[in-house]
Amino acid sequence: MLRYANPTLFLDLARRLIPAFAGLGALAIAVGLYLVFFVAPADYQQGETVKIMYVHVPAAWLGMACYSLMALSAVGTLVWRHPLADVSQKAAAPLGAAFTLLCLVTGSLWGKPMWGTWWVWDARLTSVLVLFLMYCGVMALWNAIEDPGRAGRAVAILTLVGSVNIPIVKFSVDWWNTLHQPASVFRMGGSTIDASMLWPLLIMAGGFTSAFVALHLAGMRNEILRRRVRTLGLLAAQREPEPAGAPALEHP
Amino acid sequence: MGASHTGFILASYLMAAAVFVGLTVRAVLEHRAQKAQLARLEQRGARRRSEAA
């Protein structure tokens, strides 16, 4: 772990891992889609509409997992000052926002035919909306502060404050009376989903996660390059001679 | 029930595809842009201290 605190070593590792995770993700999603559309049965109550579950649930899991990853990275920034921790945080935020938005939109598309409404202000839906807004806030703060080091520390504090929402999202269906159904996969007493639907769901979730890892590594690689460009740009600006006739700077 | 909800299912999968394609294209374009900018700066003689040493 500490060995890869060196960005150059990390870039070398990312170069090898990105295609592996992207390929694995594409393969798992392809197998998952085959199982979803040609093998998994329709639900006895929801009919074919249950197929929305296979994209909605992995997106929801990734939306929460990504924020947990950001919170862990925030600890890395504030406590260990790991050089790649805030790089990880910055690269994860747009991915988390995208998957949380996907969760909200597919949830709405599932809710309309099943519940008769696109949206209700119940605890699960509202806390996921708050999660999406937290991602937007984190991205806005990154863009508001120019220096990456200062921005990283400010974002880390905001991320840790926002992490209180993650258990609220997870347990909202247990703590409050919600229209959203309670947990049916990761719960005490085992999954309530039949194996014929559970396996395609887990394979799709594995594919989404693998693709997420590839995208996160690619985002981290881009952020490292962006910081190198910034550093080299500043060095180049310092070295360039002042144009003739330029007014001299006055030092107090 | 099934046939009337095809549009909802299709829209969900199209949205998921759009998210993956969008994120991938963004990552690839950003990588190309940063690499090109880095190459331009290095061509102008800019070197990091670790490389210059």
The C-alpha of A227 sits at a distance from chain B's nearest C-alpha, in angstroms, of 9
pLDDT, one tens digit per residue, over A67-95 is: 999 999 999 999 988 889 999 999 999 99
Predicted confidence band of residue A189 (pLDDT cuts 50, 70, 90): confident
pLDDT number for residue A183: 76
Which percentage of chain A shows pLDDT scores above 70? 93
Question: Could you tell me which of A95, A92, A93, A109 has the C-alpha nearest to residue A56?
Answer: A109
The C-alpha of B32 sits at a distance from chain A's nearest C-alpha, in angstroms, of 9
Contact A46 B1 (CB under 8 A): yes
Q: How many CA atoms lie within 13 A of A52 on its CB side?
A: 27
Residue A204 has pLDDT above 70, yes or no: yes
Q: Dump the DSSP string for A99-140.
A: HHHHHHHHHHHHHHHHHS-S----HHHHHHHHHHHHHHHHHH
Q: Dump the DSSP string for A51-84.
A: GGHHHHHHHHHHHHHHHHHHHHHHHIIIII--TT
pLDDT number for residue A21: 98
pLDDT, one tens digit per residue, over B5-36 is: 899 999 999 999 999 999 999 999 999 999 99
pLDDT number for residue A37: 95
Number of structural domains chain B divides into: 1
Distances (CA, A) of A210 to A75, B5, B29: 24, 30, 21
pLDDT number for residue A243: 62
Contact A102 B16 (CB under 8 A): yes
- pLDDT, average across residues A124-133: 96
Q: Which domain holds residue B19?
A: 3-52
Chain-wide mean pLDDT for chain A? Answer: 90
Residue A148 has pLDDT above 60, yes or no: yes
Query: Between residues A141 and A1, which one has the greater pLDDT?
Result: A141
**Which of B4, B31, B42 is the closest to A222 by Cβ?**
B31
Residue A176 has pLDDT above 90, yes or no: no
The predicted model scores a pTM of 0.90
pLDDT number for residue B30: 97
